[in-house]
Structure 1
Amino acid sequence: MKLVWSDEFDKDGAPDPKNWGFETGYARNEEDQWYQSDNAMVKDGLLVIEAKREQKPNPTYKEGSTEWRTKRKNIEFTSSSLSTNNLHSWTYGRFEMRARIPVDSGLWPAFWTVGQTGEWPKGGEIDIMEFYRGKVLANIAWGTDRRWNAKWNSKSKAVADWNDPQWAQKFHVWAMDWDAEKITLSVDGEVLNTQLLKDTVNSDGTGINPFNSPQFIILNLALGGQNGGDLSKTTFPQKYEVDYVRVYQKG
Structure 2
Amino acid sequence: MKRLNLLALTVTCVLGLGLASCAEDVTPTTKDQSAKEQSGNSGTKSSTNKAAGAPWVKQFEDTFDVGSSLSQWTKEQRADYNSWYCDYYSSVPTTQWRDGKQCLEIKTTKLSTYKYQSGFISSHYQYKPENNTEYMLSANIKLIAMDRGTYKSFTETYGAWPAFWSVQQNAWPTKGEIDIMEGYSFAPNASRFTSNLFYGTSSGANLLGNAAERNYPGNFDINGNGGWHLYESFWKMQNNVVTVTIKVDNVTVSTYTNSSAGNLNLNNFGPHSIIFNLNVGSKDSNFIDPNKIKLFSTVMMWVDDVTVYKRPI
Give the TM-score normalised by structure 2: 0.64
RMSD: 2.7
Separation in 2, partners of 1:200, 1:215: 20
**Hey, what does 1:210 align to over in structure 2?**
268
**Hey, what does 2:57 align to over in structure 1?**
2
Residue type matched to 1:121 in 2? P
Residue type matched to 2:59 in 1? V
Q: Residues 157-172 of structure 1 correspond to what in structure 2 (within 5 A)?
A: 157=216, 161-162=219-220, 164=221, 166-167=223-224, 169-172=226-229
In the superposition, relative to structure 1, how do residues 208 and 250 fare at CA in structure 2: closer, same or farther (>3 Å)? Answer: closer
Task: Provide Cα deviations, 1:106-146, integer angstroms capped at 9, x if missing partner.
Answer: 010000111265x2111100001110141111111211579
In the superposition, relative to structure 1, how do residues 239 and 208 fare at CA in structure 2: closer, same or farther (>3 Å)? Answer: closer
Task: Provide Cα deviations, 1:189-248, integer angstroms capped at 9, x if missing partner.
Answer: 111111114767967xxx88322x311111000001135555533312111000001101
Is the aligned partner of 1:97 residue 2:106? no
Separation in 2, partners of 1:49, 1:244: 13
Is the aligned partner of 1:135 residue 2:178? no
Is the aligned partner of 1:122 residue 2:174? yes
Give the conservation status (yes or no) of the 8 Å contact 1:138–1:154. yes
**Hey, what does 2:37 align to over in structure 1?**
none
Task: Provide Cα deviations, 1:45-85, integer angstroms capped at 9, x if missing partner.
Answer: 11010111124xxxxxxxxxxxxxxxxxx97210000001x
Give the conservation status (yes or no) of the 8 Å contact 1:108–1:228. no
Q: Residues 224-239 of structure 1 correspond to what in structure 2 (within 5 A)?
A: 224-225=281-282, 226=284, 227-228=287-288, 230=290, 231-239=292-300
1:154 pairs, out of 198, 206, 213, with 213
Q: Residues 78-89 of structure 1 correspond to what in structure 2 (within 5 A)?
A: 78-84=117-123, 87-89=124-126
Q: Secondary structure at the match of 2:199?
A: strand
Where has structure 1 moved over 6 Å in runs of 4 or more? 198-201
Separation in 2, partners of 1:145, 1:199: 20
Gap runs ≥5 in structure 1: 56-73
Residue type matched to 2:57 in 1? K
Count of paired positions: 222
Give the conservation status (yes or no) of the 8 Å contact 1:94–1:178. yes
1:107 pairs, out of 152, 160, 167, with 160
In the superposition, relative to structure 1, how do residues 168 and 232 fare at CA in structure 2: closer, same or farther (>3 Å)? Answer: farther
Separation in 2, partners of 1:200, 1:122: 15
**Hey, what does 1:69 align to over in structure 2?**
none
Separation in 1, partners of 2:139, 2:111: 29
Give the conservation status (yes or no) of the 8 Å contact 1:121–1:149. yes
Which deviates the most, 32-41 or 228-237?
Answer: 228-237
Give the conservation status (yes or no) of the 8 Å contact 1:113–1:218. yes
In the superposition, relative to structure 1, how do residues 145 and 11 fare at CA in structure 2: closer, same or farther (>3 Å)? Answer: closer
Separation in 1, partners of 2:75, 2:86: 14
Report which of the two structures shows the higher radius of gyration computed on alpha carbons.
2
Normalized per residue, which structure has more strand? 1
Q: CA deviation at 1:166?
A: 3.2
Give the TM-score normalised by structure 1: 0.78
**Hey, what does 1:36 align to over in structure 2?**
89
Give the conservation status (yes or no) of the 8 Å contact 1:6–1:246. yes
Identity value in percent: 25
Q: CA deviation at 1:27?
A: 2.3
Separation in 1, partners of 2:120, 2:88: 6
